[in-house]
Structure 1
């Protein structure tokens, strides 16, 4: 099949709607549009020379467009909105009745929706009240950054500074040149799954922005990006981009379907996607029953189960006990952290962590990227040290004194164990459903 033929083939299974991009394995757009009514919805991965045939000649009613094809979408359209004309980028294409291609940029509307809620619920005011005439820094200069800048200027009156990795005004000069900024927005893909929890700026940079009111990151996977985690550690209100993703999809779906949709769908779908994709990470003392409970919980929730100790055995060919006895505990902890990061970056899992995962602070943010952390609190009198070299060497009581405060500090949910793996799993599932 030639590039033109593949481009024209485009959408599969009779789908009328879809997302056009180059790499879409991380996308949640299909789930969102199914809830909005713009379905069936296809994910269409094409190479650059296949884009024009799909846009111009493909059989579709509505297309969302993501990186790196937003500028192509704008150029290939017959009709462009004012926002698309100004930005030179489109994330939404609609096939009109006469066959012409109409381009819109609902990223602007999606970010505006997220910004308004963030300012109202987290900062205590409207975007105009908080940002009018004040500086907002946007990281990135691509199509998404341009859309964010447009929204900040048009809907909040902010003075926007676009910062890139190269040129005279870069991330390295951010703190010196923009110390008065009140909002920081990441509009780059830095920190997106699977390259997470990377962050475009470091702690020192955020600390130096003393007027900063909040941080937004348009990356939506992982649920908490490296930048959001960093801001939260510093006590700065922060949010990642799931709300923007859902809101822009809602406005795109309105164009696809030719009807208005209720804005109240945005938080409902956001909550549904979070519930579907949020992992569950079980922590607790060695012997607390994390593995047996985790297996039961995974079956209840219909999710894959990962036991980090078993993952260590698969990766290294040795058990945790064998690594600790031969190479020392530090060697094991390094492997444990690597595998914790690998699985914690994924969505929709049940993860049983090793008892000592809390001894490395870096593991906390790895887990918090995408997981609700559940502490299985079992009385120390019910714990056994058999087959556990650290417990045998140091004693269960000493480990408990060291680790129990950490388990409680890390946990989003604490569950007092019932003595039954099935009972514990059912209790956790009930608590998660109530969150």
Structure 2
């Protein structure tokens, strides 16, 4: 363990050398700055070497952790490191806590028991043929083109259409969901923090209104017994029914977690593979490698950068944290830690073991990990079977963005052989 609980009312804990106002641990790292997007891993490495528990005054003040062991410990210790607020700043426009990710045990456990069966391996396997149909349709539309906008032609619509199919909602609403999620996750590029938050809240309210409409429609229709919206409407928390408020915030989380994370993983992976022809052709020639490749590419570029709230005074490394402090725990930083991963900045499809934290750890480990892996596996299989020679368009290089889901804002590919 690298954390020690402290009784700050009596005496300092041995080993705590620094605190929030110590200049030695100050950092200007900004999780929302476009300037960080292309150098995030270099910044993580520098902080890990020099100040693995760093402090920023941005967004009201927060810490940034970069060691695997520290981040892993935080994930597994919700009693000290609460998930009551996983964003910096504290909201992306949602009306109340996103359930269950912003709820701590024991209530979190009850919510997970409701949601986990919706993403069981059996249920995901039943979706495999439909996901393949969506992938095939999207790739069919790319056939015969020399150049494609991979982000908008494939990476955005795939997880959105899968989400809508899971929910039993109209596929023609996909584009509207793209617009809402982009605003909620990214705000308004170039706008002030206040303007960005106003835009996020406006988009989130439209999302809630859509969800409420879908819930109302379920009351008027005969729906399959495995319909997720209906399952939630029929769900209970202990001895009471789930409230509309709870259902809306569960759906809000499923939307954000299901769309932007898969979109980011697809784009980050394709950028890497477009630049590394040998490994790209390996996937085309030996599809059996793809499941391991998915895990390694998730480790290499882990998009999620969640936050936690410190609930009681604690020492992490040699830094004194106080109750109420906010900390960022970038999974990408943990997954490039050389103390855990040999040659962490290299992609190795034979890496074993591969204890990456792309899906988190502990009680809040991503409930949709089975679905995410399934979407990525099918996408990689079909993409590399049909377009094994894709490469980046040199006239339009990829543009990455930062946020608490690190992603890609533009990705253009050339499909034919060089």
TM-score by length of 2: 0.29
User: Where is the strand percentage greater, Structure 1 or Structure 2?
Assistant: 1
Which has the bigger relative contact order, CA under 8 A and spacing at least 6?
Answer: 2
Pair member with larger Rg: 1
